[in-house]
Amino acid sequence: MTQQPPRNIDEARLLANITTRAQRLFQDGYTLTRQDEHDLIITNDEGDKRYYLSTLFESCTCKCMAIHGTCKHYLGWRKLEETQAEYEAHLLKGYDESEDYGRAVMEESLLRRTCGANI
């Protein structure tokens, strides 16, 4: 899917909103699980919604993609994956209070993912 320029102010606002939120997926508690080279699963902060992304087909299973042809998951997955990897490496090296990764939300989300349970 190719991103078209906005046709009107509402579309421009919507796109700006999606773009902003795409940059904050990690801080908002989203987690990414890579299935293979092109297929990713993004789980929301509550752990109750999963979106299946294909980087090959530039698709996502969320409603926003179906309606608007783009979404925060698709625009933000690369940054989410990078930040998540950086954060996990950071945790493995030991905790550093000076770095802020939006920890409160992220830790809960990480715990939920690693424990696979409702906490």
CA distances from 42 to 36, 57, 74 (A): 13, 16, 10
Number of residues in contact with Zn ion, rule: CB under 5 A?
6
Which range of residues in 13-21, 22-30, 62-70, 84-92 is near Zn ion by CB under 5 A?
62-70
For residue 36, the minimal CB distance to Zn ion (Å) is 18
Between 1 and 40, how does the x/- string for binding to Zn ion read (CB under 5 A)?
Answer: ----------------------------------------
DSSP state of 77: H
Report yes or no: 5 and 58 within 8 Å, Cβ to Cβ: no
